[in-house]
Amino acid sequence: MGCEVLSNYMLGMVGVVRGDVHAARPALERARDIAQAASAFPWRNRVLGALHWTRAMLGEADAEALAGLDQSIEAAREAREPWDQGTLLTLRGTVRARSDETRDDGLADFAAAEALLTSMGARPALLR
């Protein structure tokens, strides 16, 4: 089951990195369903965070989607998963940076993600 979650998550993340929300969503939904059935907590959190990002980028209940990203970031922080936390902060930053009202918050998310990923030596993630 873990490989099925991972493969669908990675396929969805290709859409995320390319900015193709419509391509990302179906793969992430499949990954979510498999992760929930398998009770795969770390993967479930990653997938849910990415799904909240797709909802926000599609304009579907932005406030709810951001609240979902907030929950995923907090879960990553509590689980001591800096990679997930950095990735999710980056996703939330892309949503926040789209609005003049929340642009500064988005930039703060990017800075926090950069600090986490740098501390891990995750330079390829920073290049994205």
Three-state SS for the chain is CHHHHHHHHHHHHHHHHHCCHHHHHHHHHHHHHHHHHHCCHHHHHHHHHHHHHHHHHCCCCHHHHHHHHHHHHHHHHHCCCHHHHHHHHHHHHHHHCCCCCCHHHHHHHHHHHHHHHHHHCCHHHHHC
* Residue range 2-20, pLDDT digits in tens: 688 889 988 988 888 888 8
User: How far is it, in rounded angstroms, from Cα 66 to Cα 19?
Assistant: 18
Superfamily of domain 2-122 in the CATH hierarchy: Tetratricopeptide repeat domain (1.25.40.10)
Provide the whole-model pTM: 0.77
* Residue range 95-120, pLDDT digits in tens: 888 888 889 999 999 999 999 988 88
